[in-house]
Amino acid sequence: MDREEKDFILEKVMIEYGNDLVRLAFSYVKDTETAKDMVQNTFIKCYKNLDSYRNDAKIKTWLYRITINECKDYLKSWNYKMVQVKSFINETARSISPSVEKTVMDKYNSDEMKDTISSIPKVYREVVFLYYYESLNSEEIATVLDISVNTVKTRLRRAKQRLQSVIKEEEFNGR
């Protein structure tokens, strides 16, 4: 594959899947700029490996897989862990101020559903995000996550059950 052909393909996938990949990455890293960095890394890997792409899977699922792996590697990194420690210290220091409490409450109300989804374990959060927000079907999710279709269906069912109980609990507690 020549350079012009690779450039054309890369530009096409960046336009077609860029926003979806940023949303996917954000669901893992919870930071917009970091999510964009993860997607940029994905496109770099895509470009470098276009010659070896075998068309075994749709290019969309291949890009999703690369993005998920980038995010997982980032979350395991020393840099991320240090950022988390610093963030925890800053949040703890700010929590003393009453204005921060109001800000947190306002944010909770506007992001209530996102927070509810974030409260369930990652294995369920992944399938919920890919199914409901990225509109992937069970087979595509199975390919992206490298699990069986039945596992995808089970995780979706369990995620729905957990979300339902969390929502009921929040309603009961008046949230």
Q: What amino acid is encoded at 20 in this protein?
A: D
Task: Give the distance from CA 95 to its chain's centroid.
Answer: 27
- Higher pLDDT: 38 or 3? It is 38
For every residue of 42-63, DSSP letters joined together read HHHHHHHHGGG--SSS-HHHHH
Is the pLDDT score of 41 beyond 60?
yes
Residue 168: its pLDDT value, please?
73
Maximum Cα–Cα distance across the chain: 61
Q: Which long-range contacts (CB under 8 A, 24 or more apart) does 166-172 make?
A: 166/116, 166/119, 166/120, 167/116, 170/116
| The dihedral sign for the CA sequence 122, 73, 38, 46 | negative
Q: If you average pLDDT over every residue of the chain, what do you get?
A: 80
For the chain, the straight-line distance linking the first and the last C-alpha, in angstroms and rounded, comes to 56
What gap in Å lies between CA 36 and CA 42, rounded to an integer?
10
C-beta separation of 24 from 68 below 8 A: yes
Q: What is the mean pLDDT of residues 97-111?
A: 45
Q: Domains of the chain (ranges plus CATH)?
A: 1-96 (1.10.1740.10), 97-175 (1.10.10.10)
Task: Say whether pTM exceeds 0.75.
Answer: no
Is the pLDDT score of 92 beyond 80?
no
Q: Which residue is it, tokens 């509810």?
A: 116
Q: Summarize pLDDT for 2-29 with one digit per residue, the tens.
A: 888 888 888 999 999 999 999 999 999 8
